[in-house]
Amino acid sequence: MKIWMISLLIILIVVGAILLFSSFYVLDQTQQAVVLRFGKIV
């Protein structure tokens, strides 16, 4: 096994996870009003 390939995979996974969490955080902030409205309807 090549160590640089494993480290590159780990770096890609970490960066992808950070991007996913940040985008989910932004979506959560922008959709708070929508969630509140749907919560009242449901």
Angle, in degrees to the nearest 10, between helices 3-30 and 32-41: 60
pTM higher than 0.85 for the full model? Answer: no
Q: pLDDT tens, 1-42?
A: 799 999 999 999 999 998 888 777 777 777 676 666 666 665
- For residues 15 and 31, what is the distance between their CA atoms, to the nearest angstrom? 24
Residue 19 pLDDT: 87
The total domain count for the chain is 1
DSSP state of 21: H
pLDDT at 11: 96
Residue 21: predicted pLDDT? 83
The burial class, CB within 10 Å (0-12 / 13-18 / 19+), for 20 is: exposed
Domain membership of residue 19 as a residue range: 3-41
Compute the distance between CA of residue 24 and CA of residue 3 in angstroms, rounded to an integer.
Answer: 32
Q: What token pair was written down for 41?
A: 């309807």
